[in-house]
């Protein structure tokens, strides 16, 4: 087996795994969107993860769809020896790589701004969906119960939410350290911290692991781009 054939086979197998992984994530994302309660019952709390801040189903669906596209382009491009598909694969991976680098720079340089933007997006979602959107509510209930936090910033994030209005103007038990009923006065007295701070502290504690994973993903992306460009260039000599 020549070098070109070996790399071609490895590219096919690698991208087939990416394609299957993307399909799995897409399926799980749709499952969470349709029936988040049973997902949480099976897998338990999603503590120690930034996915608790946002609706996990949307995240999984987007990532799954991206992986499906990458896996399809890479696998078919190598199998059919198509320069067009290989170039598309290279372009998509390059765009994702650049976006990740840009996000890392923003996270390092403009951490405060990123936090402000995230708070500006998630806080209105809590007031709009908590108690109304079942998967969203289940994820936040489990998060608050496991971490011992309340809302994104504090209990005020849940004021006037569907949950608050449908539970006689009270808050979930974690907002009062599991004391019920959790009224405005008791929530202010207990002063439970928001989940955002807790999650950030957890991420900082495990920053070495997060950085290692990020570096590993970046290395795989660079390797994928090099291999796809190698196959692309070798097709000119066939």
pLDDT at res. 45? 47
Instruction: Give tens-digit pLDDT for 68-101.
Output: 888 888 888 888 888 888 888 899 889 888 887 8
More confident position, 90 or 107: 90
DSSP class of residue 133 equals S
- Asked if residue 77 lies in contact with residue 88, where contact means CB atoms within 8 angstroms, the answer is yes
Name which of 35-49, 161-175, 193-207 the model is least confident about. 35-49
- Asked if residue 178 lies in contact with residue 148, where contact means CB atoms within 8 angstroms, the answer is no
Instruction: Give tens-digit pLDDT for 7-54.
Output: 888 888 888 888 888 888 788 778 767 765 565 555 554 443 444 444
Domain boundaries, the chain: 3-109+207-237, 127-199
Share of the chain above pLDDT 70, in %: 79
Calpha distance 171→77 (Å, rounded) = 54
pLDDT at res. 1? 52
Return the closest-CA partner of residue 74 out of 102, 98, 94: 94
pLDDT at res. 238? 61
Is 139 a residue whose pLDDT tops 70? yes
pLDDT at res. 49? 43
- Asked if residue 112 lies in contact with residue 106, where contact means CB atoms within 8 angstroms, the answer is no
Q: Given phi > 0 = left and psi -120 to 50 = alpha, else beta, which region is 148? A: left
Q: How confident is the model at residue 175 (pLDDT cuts 50, 70, 90)?
A: very high
Q: State the DSSP string of 150-194.
A: -SSSSGGGGTTSHHHHHTTS-B-GGGGTT-SSB-HHHHHHH-PPP
pLDDT at res. 17? 84
- Count Cα atoms within 13 angstroms, Cβ side, for 69: 12
pLDDT at res. 40? 56
pLDDT at res. 162? 92
Q: At what angle do helices 134-147 and 195-205 cross, to 10 degrees?
A: 60
Joined together, the tokens standing for residue 162 give: 């569907």
Calpha distance 171→55 (Å, rounded) = 20
Instruction: Give tens-digit pLDDT for 219-229.
Output: 888 888 888 88
Is 111 a residue whose pLDDT tops 70? no
CATH assignment, 127-199: 1.10.1450
More confident position, 16 or 200: 16
pLDDT at res. 186? 92
């Amino acid at each position: 087996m020549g070098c070109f054939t070996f790399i071609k086979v490895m590219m096919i197998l690698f991208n087939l795994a990416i394609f299957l992984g993307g399909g799995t994530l897409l399926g799980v994302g749709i499952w969470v969107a349709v029936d988040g309660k049973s997902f949480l019952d099976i897998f338990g709390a999603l503590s120690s993860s930034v996915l608790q801040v946002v609706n996990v189903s949307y995240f999984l669906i987007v990532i799954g769809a991206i992986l499906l596209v990458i896996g399809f382009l890479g696998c078919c491009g190598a199998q059919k020896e198509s320069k067009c598909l290989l170039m598309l694969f290279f372009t998509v991976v390059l765009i994702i790589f650049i976006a990740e680098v840009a996000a890392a720079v923003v996270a390092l340089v403009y951490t405060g701004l990123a936090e402000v933007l995230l708070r500006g997006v998630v806080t209105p979602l809590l007031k709009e969906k908590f108690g109304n959107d079942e998967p969203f509510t289940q994820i936040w209930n489990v998060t608050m119960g496991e971490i011992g936090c309340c809302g994104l910033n504090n209990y005020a994030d849940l004021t006037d939410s569907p949950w608050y209005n449908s539970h006689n103007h009270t808050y979930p038990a974690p907002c009062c350290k599991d004391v019920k009923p959790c009224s405005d006065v008791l929530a202010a007295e207990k002063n439970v911290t928001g989940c955002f701070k807790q999650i950030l502290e957890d991420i900082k504690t495990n920053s070495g692991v997060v950085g290692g994973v990020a570096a590993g993903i970046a290395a795989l992306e660079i390797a994928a781009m090099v291999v796809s460009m190698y196959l692309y260039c070798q097709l000119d000599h066939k």
